Structure 1
């Protein structure tokens, strides 16, 4: 039985959303899957090697030329595309600066010619919401979003309307550019089909109340959801990954009678092992709270900062790993996040290849922060860099340390975490 394929794309949240969607779907049917390595090659390998009734594939797209989203859509003809969030990243691809408008267009092309199936889209993100809204006359679109006041960003971003180019008006910010927005052209946040309507945040566990009515592709009817889930205290960004995976699962499982039972089985027994390697976590190193992990773009670093803020009870040291040449847009977003955290001490290392560019970014940072240091350790000295980052944490006089920015997820961040575990 071939039920088709579902593709998960976006700037952030792809791997976690795909991981959770696989956990849910595997309870119902055999599936073909690929995640973490999110290229067309990994999808092809999964299709050829794995047996299953439904394909669930993470797919990263940096630009049209190398991501070939229109070709992938035509050849794979997915029954579903899931959009997590779209923000500035990977502006420099294969030696060429990639305009953000082209990056957004590349994401849109993955579902642009769909005439059958379901698009699952983040209503709180104006870019993913616009992609979904543009397809509502062709296919069913299931939007998901947050509708509680407990989540509120500490910084107000200026976001351009994807429909007309004017600045959007926000009545509430949730995370970075995600929130409740509208524009004079008539474009506005769509009503979510699946929404977080209540939450209780405790230090070690969270209660999430999720309600909605979602269109199921195989049953060709709407399914009501009324859920109260108990999950780890896994960060506000994973609320979006939770909503995305639940909405996608409810949209594409052929076993509609199992939906709420399966969701409870997965999320009520969830632990932190579902977080992909290299992702941001707050761990204990001696008596220190150390937030450590990938933050490759402004959206990701903002999310990491919001998570870290809940642990702060004394001054913060920020250990920052920089972007590269032609990634000034990412640095500017990062710099705003660093300033919003008001660290007492900042340490800067190059996070990618160019030591010279890393020092250039550092020179901007030290104008803002008197207490700042730079360590010029290049990416070709990865072992030396990992040791230095680890030693900086151990030797730090601060009880709260945030270490994030650019760098290879598994090659760098996971090895640093393991260094702390082995100590």
Structure 2
């Protein structure tokens, strides 16, 4: 008997009404070009059927896959989804990045018929790190990917160890056959995974040549999650992710189930190597063959705003979403590597766009935890824009020293900022744009002429 048939008549009627209403709202929003309807349909439908998320997720034939973490959810999800679809699987996915409960419901609703029957093999749901326990109260996933935990929006979230403890409690009560895949290089997640009763497989890097020269300023968790003692690091790959052990209690990085040196890096930036490994390990557990996995990696295209590359008026542009200290430090690291390979006296400019809206976090003090000095040290032109343009300009000005040549251009109007940055970009170089989340959506609309949300 199918899952839909097991649902009681009252719940089925409420579900059908909720689905019909959601689809009507979706049609109206898209017809009026008000957006992609990635949130509102789910919010309205939940009011009509409070058990909506549970009723829909139960119908997914081969299981729900939750992907949680501060950075990398969208790229990892798209990579895994592509692998599954190339195996002939039908996949529901909240691809627009609406990762709160109403966004998850909207993604599932988009794949139902008019009476609420869901016909997909898998549902890949990117989940905001702060709502993981609430989502797990309604969904019993087949597999959970735990990518990383960093400080993100300072006005919304607590410390990373608090969030990991909440994750651990919510996951521990799930069925024993649930597959948990945490990042071994993240001490809080490595510790959490080692305490869980389920099947736990770890991913992480085994590439000491990629160690940073020093621990970055924007580091979140360098203390043992078991005893509180300072961890000893053989080396760090980014922020607090690295090879570590505790000299006091013996806690150490969990052994990994995948050799990172066997897989190439997708896109620019070492952080994308983590995304690759997470998706590969999940795909292997879901039965995707190795040929499909490797071919997908070789031909992968970036998700919007995540190392996405565009050609604008004959100029090459790369958008690198930078929404927190760790994310921006890593994009700066990637941009520096590109600039160091440039054999030209004129470096392409870098455009920073800093907003402070709800999707970005209203507290922008995190920019002072970013190592902008490492980028400014190379000199060149930097264009700044966004709602908090003068905050970003001040941060870059304080990064300047007498040893480097800084040309700082401040443009309150985003279109002017983009036009100026393109004008200063040599024909054979790449303009890197580093925006926060809402800024990334605006940048894409300017460059492509269409919205994503």
The question of a shared fold, defined as TM-score above 0.5 by the shorter chain, is answered with yes
Cα distance, 1:41 vs structure 2: 1.7
2:250 maps to 186
1:53-102 residue CA offsets vs partner (Å, 9 max, x unmatched):
332211123x3xxx2x3221021121221011211111123xxx644444
Contact 1:6–1:55 under 8 Å retained in 2: yes
2:326 maps to 299
1:310 corresponds to 2:337? yes
Change (3 A) 1:416 1:55: same
Equivalent residues, number: 360
1:168-216 residue CA offsets vs partner (Å, 9 max, x unmatched):
221122233221111233221111011213xxxxxxxxxxx24xxxxxx
1:122 corresponds to 2:179? no
Change (3 A) 1:262 1:409: farther
* Cα distance in 2 for residues equivalent to 1:120 and 1:78: 12
Among 267, 288, 305, the residue aligned to 1:278: 305
1:90 corresponds to 2:158? no
Change (3 A) 1:401 1:45: closer
Q: Could you state the TM-score of these two structures normalised by the residue count of structure 1? A: 0.74
1:148-186 residue CA offsets vs partner (Å, 9 max, x unmatched):
244233442354223333332211222332211112332
1:365 maps to 396
In structure 2, list runs of 5 or more residues that go unmatched: 3-60, 113-117, 357-361
1:247-284 residue CA offsets vs partner (Å, 9 max, x unmatched):
11122x2xx4x52233234234x142xx1111235667
2:259 maps to 195
Change (3 A) 1:119 1:271: closer
* Cα distance in 2 for residues equivalent to 1:131 and 1:87: 15
Contact 2:75–2:303 under 8 Å retained in 1: yes
2:203 maps to 144
In structure 1, list runs of 5 or more residues that go unmatched: 198-208, 211-228, 378-383
Among 433, 445, 450, the residue aligned to 1:403: 433
1:332 maps to 368
Matches within 5 A, 1:58-69: 58-61=126-129, 63=130, 67=131, 69=132
Contact 1:278–1:409 under 8 Å retained in 2: no
* SS of match in other structure, 1:311: helix
* Cα distance in 1 for residues equivalent to 2:376 and 2:408: 17
Cα distance, 1:7 vs structure 2: 0.3
Contact 1:349–1:375 under 8 Å retained in 2: yes
1:226 maps to none
1:267 maps to 297
Contact 1:386–1:415 under 8 Å retained in 2: no
Cα distance, 1:308 vs structure 2: 1.9
Q: Could you state the TM-score of these two structures normalised by the residue count of structure 2? A: 0.69
Among 258, 271, 277, the residue aligned to 1:237: 271
1:320 corresponds to 2:352? yes
Q: Which consecutive aligned stretches of 4+ in structure 1 deviate over 6 angstroms post-superposition?
A: 282-289
Contact 2:384–2:417 under 8 Å retained in 1: no
* SS of match in other structure, 1:240: helix
Contact 1:72–1:110 under 8 Å retained in 2: no
1:15 corresponds to 2:74? yes
Q: Write 1 or 2 for the structure with the bigger share of strand.
A: 1
1:79 maps to 142
